[in-house]
Amino acid sequence: MTKFLITGASGLLGLNLALAVDGKEHQVFGVANTTPMRRVGFKSIQAELTESGTVDRLLDEIAPEVIIHCAAIANVDDCESKPQLALEVNSRLPGKIAVAAASRHIKMVQISTDAVYDGQKGDYQERELPDPLSVYARTKLGGEQAVLDANPQALVARVNFYGWSVTGTRSLAEWFVNAFAAGQTVKGFTDVQFCPMMVLDLVDTLLEAVRLDLKGIYHMVGPQKMSKFEFGRAIAGKFGFDPELVQPASVFDGGLKAARSPNLSLNTEKLTTALHHELPLFDAGLQKFYDQYRHGFPQLLKSLS
């Protein structure tokens, strides 16, 4: 069995990754700070990774073969209010983990974001220079650079994903479903484009990338571009709600604190070439999201915190 250390194990990606991976071909140690997990199969550890000595201690005690670093300050508007915290967690911490991993010959995967681009053109390739607009995006780009400077053998995954979380509020898809269930009319931005990937598809992609020992930066997003408006209406239709509950709106009318990039469609040709197959289509991922809902997966996750 391969031993994985997953940080941010109470977050949307970290928890879904740990639950999907542990006990099959791999053993998972999941580190969470604010929301430790209970009644889970993987080994759950509560730790503050930014505290001096914590990273080195955990790596020496666990001796993982792979680290997938999901932990981050991921709320974009919170980062605008707490730039120093965002810098420490999103930029400096990944660099410290990369140094510690490199010295112990541990494979490291850094989870980054599509938001490193300014969104003026779309269809971005990995070789194009980022131009982040927000504190969140700048600090995540800083994390990428710190990781690759310390450990060129590391993998950096730029992602955009959705799925179910412990709180039920950590993805745009959950927000739409919650609003629809309450009979609320919501805004869907027609002027923000992205390439969402269902979290279980991202989990499979990350594991395959680790198995192939991919290095450097890869775009790991869905293969289909859509607006937030189109995304919301697709969810409404799949869940049996009236698509008219999603009303077209501009991001400039959303009252958001941080600037958003208008077109974050990413080119995934480098990834599909490395994997030797295409990425899962949006409709298939949305069906998985809906099937989890029908089988009570959101309630199960809430019971784990």
b/e map 54-66, b = 16+ CB within 10 Å: ebeebbeebebbb
**The token pair that represents 2 in the structure block:** 């391969």
Per the document, the length of the chain is 305
Beta bridge partners of 172: none
pLDDT digits (tens, 9 = 90+) for 64-85: 999 999 999 999 999 999 999 9
Tally of CA atoms within 13 A in the half-sphere of 92 that contains its CB:
11
Give the residue from 113, 173, 177, 174 showing the smallest Cα distance to 142: 113
pLDDT digits (tens, 9 = 90+) for 164-207: 999 888 899 999 999 999 999 999 999 999 999 999 999 999 99
The answer to whether 193 touches 122, Cβ cutoff 8 Å, is yes
Coil, strand or helix at 260: coil
pLDDT digits (tens, 9 = 90+) for 263-282: 999 999 999 999 999 999 99
Q: Domains of the chain by range and CATH?
A: 2-167+195-224+264-282 (3.40.50.720)
Is the pLDDT assigned to residue 4 strictly greater than 70?
Answer: yes
Which residue carries 């020992």 as its tokens?
A: 213
Q: What is the pTM of this model?
A: 0.95
Is the pLDDT assigned to residue 35 strictly greater than 90?
Answer: no
